[in-house]
Structure 1
Amino acid sequence: MMRTSYLLGFLLPHAIDAAALNFAYETTQLTAQEAGNFSAISFGNFTSSYQKPRCKVQPEDAAWPSEAQWARLNATVGGHLLKPQPVGAACYPDRPEYNNATCAYLLGPATATRFFFNDPLTALTTWGEGATCLQLRNTTGRTCTQGGFPVYVVNATSVRDIQAAVNFARNQNLRLVIKNTGHDFIAKSSGKGALSVWTHNLKGIEFLSEYTVGEYKGAAARISAGLEAWEIHNAMVEAGNVTVVTSLEATVGNGGGWALGGGHGPLTSLYGLGADQILSLNVITADGRFLTADMNQNQDLYFALRGGGGGTFGIVTSMVVKAWPKETRIGGLTFYLTTGPGAVTIPSARGYPPPPPLHVADTETFWKAYRIYLGFTKQIVDAGGFGFGDVNPQGNKTFVLVGTMMLPDYPPDKIRDFYTPLFESFREIGVNIPNPRHAYLPYAQRGTGITPTSFPGSPADLLFISRLLPRSLWDDTAVGNGTTSRLDGVSTVNRQNAEMGYRVTLRAYGPTAQAAGYPGNTTSAVNPAMRNMVIHCVTFKQEPVDVLPPDQFAAEHAKLRGRINELVRLTPESGSYFNEADILEPDWRTSFWGEHYPRLLSIKKAVDRWGLFWAPTTVGSDEWRVVTAQGLPTQNGPLCRAD
């Protein structure tokens, strides 16, 4: 077997032993002797009974570890134990970290850098943490506290660091959280009084020309937990003639929660979800032990980690994923329709040359065009593509529809034939987009890891609820009185939501069992509803909710939930996507995992009898709850047994 390593910008081809697939940081492990010499980091014992206090220990509790114990943990992890303060503290005059210049940097230049991704505490969504130390120019009347941010962070540089942190948290009855890049919509990487394991700096990728496991034999890539999509793309460009499935968002950590919870991207309809790519995982379980899960060993854990959700079953340090020894190119285009009197700011065209926005004077015609595009998305998915269809309200009854289609590996001479029927349908209702233009772009493109969602309080920091729209919507012709199809009903609900000021987005992709390929659907915990979907529909409240008082937050959530329940009523056979969902999703067990939930819960109880790995709406999470003073669904409170 030949392996190509991409580390710190270099490509190094060399031959290796087939069994020697660990990264260097994975060979540094905690020994039984080390654990025996420091009882606070001793390995877990599955035969002992669980007898711990009702709540995880908080800093103000008498049982909180002593400074001497923290110091010894720091020595154990080679000085990688951090006690960071929220970066927003620089904006608060009553904080010792106050610095007006630093605050100005956080609110300005830092948003166009890697600063927030490289911070051990920051998550891009602030409200779920508790919004306890926001970066604001005017902080009058507000306070900055540690709040829902972890107290200590282990900046993991080896398996040994993570094992020590896991054992310390379990033995000291501390809340443990896992943070990778900070792409975290509902605060899975936050927790009041927690010890955090930060995997962000575990970086490495190796391309394997031949890899065999189970019945799989072919090209693969070994990726580290902290590797982001843009870094994988840079490696693909350097290596040439190789394709690895990644997130569409460049700064998402491919080896973390993205793949463990499902993971969609531009190649999903062609090759499946991120979870479908995983051939093997190296993972540290709740007892502190380091093991491998694949089709031949630890099969239950392998099943659970492929779609069962991050932050639940263990801490993944690396994974082997499928690769294709070829360059992939993506044909596609973007178009814009507007209606209403307001001005239009054109968002990104995702690399494709868009025509000028076409203004549709008649609002009813605009929504007819939306319905036409909604119907066309199934064809994009069936062609192995990925589609966007976002309605952006701009106030004063003004709306912008942004449509993009991406067709990987589609014959270049057939792309125009593919999309021409869509624009002909538009013209039939009076919407004439002149000379639609497409482009054929390389899938792997160099990046820098700086994106519009590179800072907290960015467009990611909004209240939203999602729903998967099943293929059956496109197959049904009518419901009710026989004149209105369910897809018509979805179009009407989305229109109503946009008219109420919500932003409604469509992500069209189809991770069917056929697209997923071997090892197949039976070895994956991916939500069965995703195997029969065409669209992942997300409805956003436009204004940030991080500064709303509790009663207003509850009212806004209830209002949005009521609107999404209209989509639920139209799609009773479907569910939601775990990685991008409502933190208060009703019946989340069925909604996120369907028939897989009983097996996942059984695995959870078998591998984590201590309830160490906990995050909102994860498998088994209903056995615990965060107790907040205001009753908000944030992480700004102690984690306690639900009973």
Structure 2
Amino acid sequence: MVGKYASISILSFLLTWLGQRFTHTSEPRCRCLYGDSCWPSDDAFIKLAEQLSAPLIYPRPLALPCYSNPDSSACAAVHARWDDGTWRAEHPGATQHPNFEALITPSGEVDACYANSSIGSPCGQGSVPVIGVKALTLADVRITVKFAAEHNLKLVIKNTGHDFLGRSSGHGSFMLWTHHMKDIAVDEVFRPLGAPEGVYYEFALTIGAGVQWHEAYAAADNANRMIVGGISPGGSVGAAGGWLLGGGHSALSPTYGLGVDNVIQISLVTSTGDHLLANAHHHADLFWALRGGGGGTFGVITSVTYRTYPIVPTVLATMVVSVKSTELTDDVKTAFTELIRITTNLTDAGWGGYAMFDSTGDTRGFSLGALVPNVSWEEANRTIMPYFDYVKSLAMSLDSSDETWNGAFKVEGGTTTEWPSFWSLYKHLMPNTGQVGRNLELGSWLFPRDVLDGDHEHVAEVLLENPGLSYELIAGGAVSKVDPSSTGLNPAWRKAVVHAVFGITWPDGASAEEIQQLRGSLESKLTRVRALAPDSGAYLNEASLFEPDARHAFFGGHYEKLRAVKRKYDPTDLFLVTEGVGADEWDEQLRCRV
């Protein structure tokens, strides 16, 4: 028997060795990074540049000018516009949150470039790619993808840098920057490729990969139409990339659905350099996967076609509750608990929006901003005002300038206004700066109807343990009416009503040990949050970098089908991103197969 098992062992070793040898000779197990001997020569990059519409780019950390000359106008601009998302998007080396420009090295050092150059450390390249292509055309994208595949490079696709998983940066990588692909077209009649006679869409909006939401909203409005999209200061988030591919939530979603429910056709380049059009009638399997399977996973998006809607009035409801205290008081908790209790009623009525908690100095509380399109002002008030009246009944009657409200609960607002369109409201409501420019990592979870309709007090208790909580009414309603199998999106979305998201921040100069301690605290809190709805999941675009079961959290029962589609259209795994489909078959750096 010993001899038998020894023979099997030797045979197993030989088969393994031959398999490794075959893999090594036919397909390298590791990607080539800058500094490796396999990195393309200068001549190779010169030949690449000769084929492109624009010179090669050499991304650098955004704060670099403050190290070379702290008194320069370039450094002054860095400090003045550090939290301007639109400005950051114009720089290929910048991410919206600078921690994704940084790198924690294997030795435990933080390689970063801080706006405050006096912190002491030199400006490091960190996770910023060293060289890349500024794509202006479809041909540029195809050439770049073929070059990356030929040289086995670690490829990073970047538009605006709005990414909480660090997918638009990568140490030693090669960048494809799609930010300047800004074509926009409105077709009064749009027929998807391969669609049968009679299948068409009116006033479809086709946008290039680099178009941002402020540009897409304006284009739709100019055509006397509206479009479902994201909300961010300045509208700086990309409208045809990761937002859509991860699901794409919106305050309009309870009425009109998610981004994946409103896309008609997607143009992309695959890892072989082929250009494909994917829709419900042509490459339908790929179209299914693209709608929720995640950005940077199946190909490079070059344009997206969305359905649009007639412009309708939109009602906005706002309220701020606060208390002078170092802790959240019972009144604040009671007000939030009641919001949880009525959430499903609100989203069923079409309301979408955000309750955001804030702790500033000795003041605690939350603000609520919610909107509902295409209902009368009277109907909107009928559904939201009872909540406002309830919260006001908890508060003391105080003048807003009264300084004697120490420890008392105060309500500001609790009113509604009507706007002629969503876009007019957006332009009035959203500042041009804010929310970006700080080190930030997130945790999040989707909450289904049955949990919110259950023990409201317990849900509120657990959620309020998380600093910076944002309680987002961006599902339910129309989102829940879509067949979960019709898109590659995690089926948990179709049961969800709320997306709860929170995070950790740290100052520039924090050590790797301090960052890891904060991450441990975040994970501990997130474990409690997940336990409220263990069968649910997380929003792929706004989630923890360290989900213990990413397949379940982000893709649910769709993972295996998504993996099969990826093998078909990206057989070499050229497109890999943190926690994306196929990423668990590679090491933590997404450099080598495991």
TM-score, normalisation: structure 2: 0.85
What is the one-letter code of the residue matched to 2:62? V
Which one is further off, 571-580 or 441-450?
Answer: 441-450
Deviations 1:130-173 (A, max 9, x none): 25443423434212122211111211011111111111111101
Does 1:605 pair with 2:567? yes
Q: Give a deviation string over 1:70-102, Cα, whole Å, max 9, x none.
A: 001000113432123323221224xxx776432
| 2:340 maps to 1:374 | yes
1:410 correspondence with 2:375 = yes
SS in 2 for 1:615: coil
Alignment of 1:513-592 (within 5 A): 521-541=484-504, 543-544=505-506, 547-592=509-554
- Paired with 2:38 and 2:55, the residues of 1 have a C-alpha distance of 23
Give the corresponding residue for 1:469. Answer: 447
The residue aligned with 1:443 is 422
Extract unaligned runs of 5+ from structure 1.
1-47, 343-360, 477-484, 628-638
- Shift in CA distance, 431/596, structure 1 to aligned 2, threshold 3 Å: farther
Does residue 115 of the first structure (1) align with residue 99 of the second (2)? no
1:456-475 Cα distance to aligned partner (Å, 9 max, x none): 33xxx312200111111133
Pick aligned residue for 1:74 from 34, 49, 62:
49
Note if 1:290 corresponds to 2:275: yes
The aligned counterpart of 1:31 is none
The secondary structure found in structure 2 opposite 1:332 is strand
| Residues 76, 537 of structure 1: alpha-carbon distance in 2 compared, 3 angstrom cutoff | same
**For residues 212-361 of structure 1, what are the structure 2 equivalents within 5 Å?**
212-213=191-192, 214=195, 216-219=199-202, 220-240=204-224, 242-249=225-232, 250-324=235-309, 326-341=310-325
TM superposition shift of 1:295: 1.3
Alpha-carbon distance in 2 for matches of 1:505, 1:110: 23
Change (3 A) 1:231 1:416: same
Which secondary structure state, in structure 1, belongs to the residue aligned with residue 187 of structure 2?
A: strand
* 173 and 337 in structure 1: CA distance in 2 versus 1, 3 angstrom threshold: same
Query: Residue type of the partner of 1:471?
Result: R
- Structure 1 counterpart of 2:364: 399
Q: Secondary structure at the match of 1:116?
A: helix
Determine if contact 1:340/1:363 at 8 Å carries over to the other structure.
no
- Does structure 1 residue 164 correspond to structure 2 residue 136? no
Partner of 2:581: 619
Q: Choose which of 463, 468, 471 in structure 2 pairs with 1:494.
A: 463
Structure 2 counterpart of 1:337, which letter?
V
Partner of 2:27, secondary structure, is coil
Q: 2:185 pairs with 206, 212, 218, which one?
A: 206
SS for the counterpart of 1:641 is coil
Which stretch of the first structure deviates more once superposed, 462-471 or 441-450?
441-450
How far 1:218 moved relative to its partner? 2.7
**Offset of residue 251 of structure 1:** 1.0
Give the deviation of 1:434 after TM superposition: 8.1
Q: How far is the alpha carbon of 1:57 from its aligned partner?
A: 1.5
Quote the Cα distance in structure 2 between the aligned partners of 1:377 and 1:258: 24
Deviation, 1:265, is 1.1
Corresponding residue of 2:15: none
Counterpart-to-counterpart distance in 2, 1:436 and 1:111: 29
Tell me the SS of whatever aligns to 1:562.
Answer: helix
Relative to the length of structure 1, the TM-score reads 0.79
Change (3 A) 1:450 1:86: farther
CA distance in 2, matches of 1:263, 1:546: 31
Deviates more, 1:408-417 or 1:152-161: 408-417
Match for residue 8 of structure 1?
none
Output the aligned Cα RMSD. Answer: 2.6
C-alpha separation in 1, matches of 2:444 and 2:176 = 29
Aligned equivalent of 1:352 = none
Provide the secondary structure at the position in 2 that maps to 1:208. strand
Matched position secondary structure for 2:87 = coil
**In structure 1, distance between residues paired with 2:313 and 2:89:** 29
Matched residue, 1:183: 162
Structure 2 SS opposite 1:600: helix
How many matched pairs? 542
Specify every segment of 5 or more residues in structure 2 that has no aligned partner in the other structure, as ranges. Answer: 1-22, 104-110, 398-410
Secondary structure in structure 1 of the residue aligned to 2:271: coil
Offset of 1:625 from its aligned partner? Answer: 2.5
| Matching residue's letter, 1:553 | I
Matched, 1:195 2:174: yes
1:87 aligned counterpart, secondary structure: coil
2:437 alignment partner AA: P
Amino acid at match of 1:237: D
Offset from partner CA, 1:480-506 (integer Å, 9 cap, x none): xxxxx2x32110112333xxxx11110
Query: Structure 1 residues 287 and 193, CA, compared in 2 at 3 Å: closer, same or farther?
Result: same
Name the structure 1 match of 2:402: none
CA contact (8 A) 1:260 1:308 kept: yes
Q: 1:599 offset after TM fit, Å?
A: 0.3
Alignment-derived partner of residue 330 in structure 2: 364
State the shift of 1:54 in Å. Answer: 3.2
2: CA distance between counterparts of 1:509 and 1:112? 25
User: How far is the alpha carbon of 1:427 from its aligned partner?
Assistant: 4.6
Map 1:111-150 → 2, pairs under 5 A: 111-112=83-84, 114-130=86-102, 132-150=111-129
Residue 626 of structure 1 deviates from its aligned partner by 4.2
Match of 1:83 among 58, 68, 75: 58
The aligned residue for residue 173 of structure 1 is 152
488-497 vs 61-70, greater mean Cα deviation: 488-497
- My pick for the range that moved more, 530-539 or 141-150, is 141-150
8 Å Cα contact 2:321/2:412 also seen in 1 = no
Shift of 1:49: 9.6
State which drifts further: 56-65 or 307-316: 56-65
Q: Secondary structure at the match of 2:98?
A: coil
Q: Which amino acid aligns with 1:128?
A: F
Give the secondary-structure state (helix, strand or coil) at the position aligned to 2:118: coil
- For 1:429 and 1:512, the matched residues in 2 are separated by 29
User: What is the CA–CA distance in structure 2 between the aligned matches of 1:254 and 1:560, rounded to whole Å?
Assistant: 29
Q: 1:362 to 1:596 in 2, by over 3 A?
A: closer
Counterpart code for 1:166: V
Answer yes or no: is the 8 Å Cα contact 2:83–2:435 preserved in 1: yes
Provide closer, same or farther for how the CA distance between residues 393 and 565 of structure 1 changes in structure 2, counting only shifts above 3 A.
same
| Residues 389 and 123 of structure 1, relative CA distance in 2, 3 Å threshold | same
Q: Measure how far apart 1:429 and its partner are.
A: 4.2
- Contact 1:177–1:194 (CA under 8 A) maintained in structure 2: yes
